[in-house]
Amino acid sequence: MVSATENSLRQNIIDGCLAMNAQGYNHGTSGNISHRLDGRMLITPTSTPYDDLKPELIASLALDKNDTIWDGPLAPSSEWRMHRDIMLARPEINAIVHLHSAFATVLSAKRITIPAAHYQIAQFGGDDIRCAEYAQYGTQALSDNALAALDNRTGCLLANHGMLAIGDSLEKALWLAVELEAQAHCYFHTLQIGGPILLTKEQIAPPPGANSNYGLRSS
């Protein structure tokens, strides 16, 4: 029997999907959201319109490389492997948002790394947002490439595909997804006027007394 806590978390995943579509950051059934729960991973099911989702339709998988059996009436997103591998490699991460948002996807199609055109890029753990090498969706290669691009980062582009944002909570991961699209939007438009004047690591570092969650990690 699903606990009230798990049922609430399942609904939060659905609400996140609906919010991303309503705000234009995603469309149709593209993209997916997952959340860690007691040694398992909850993730949106494959090829299911978000308006039709109910908590009981969210898929559940063990966070175990050797266990690929899922629970639920619907199969998990085709990107389940990427979500699972990130959670296994990054124990501090509890939620993952994958979107095909417009400007992030445009830059990913050009396989562009987003540099420090705006100081908020530091929210992703460094002075850039990397673009992972291309691999077909749902493959182990895509999972491996995403992990490499996310090293010491909380977001990345996926070449010719879209973006990933990861956080210690669903709220943080959703916020970072919106911020990553804002960074992509800013950088894309600066390229139309000759490119940005880039900020240094010192210029994007948090000022004294700033929130300790803000700022750079080591590269």
pLDDT digits over 136-175, tens only? 999 999 999 999 999 999 999 999 999 999 999 999 999 9
Provide mean pLDDT across the span 60-73: 92
Number of Cβ within a 10 Å radius of residue 163: 30
pLDDT band at 211 (very low <50, low <70, confident <90, very high): low
pLDDT digits (tens, 9 = 90+) for 87-144: 999 999 999 999 999 999 999 999 999 999 999 999 999 999 999 999 999 999 999 9
Q: Residue 31: which region, alpha, beta or left (left: phi > 0; alpha: psi -120 to 50)?
A: left
- In angstroms, the CA 105 to CA 122 distance is 21
Residue 23's Cβ-side half-sphere holds a number of Cα atoms within 13 Å equal to 16
* Distance between CA atoms of residues 133 and 68, nearest Å: 25
79 carries an active-site annotation = yes
Per-residue pLDDT band at 28 (split at 50, 70, 90): confident
Top pLDDT among 26 and 211 is at 26
Question: Would the pLDDT of 68 be above 90?
Answer: no
Of residues 79, 171, 179, 181, which has the active-site annotation? Answer: 79
Supply the pTM of this predicted model. 0.94
Mean residue pLDDT across the chain: 93
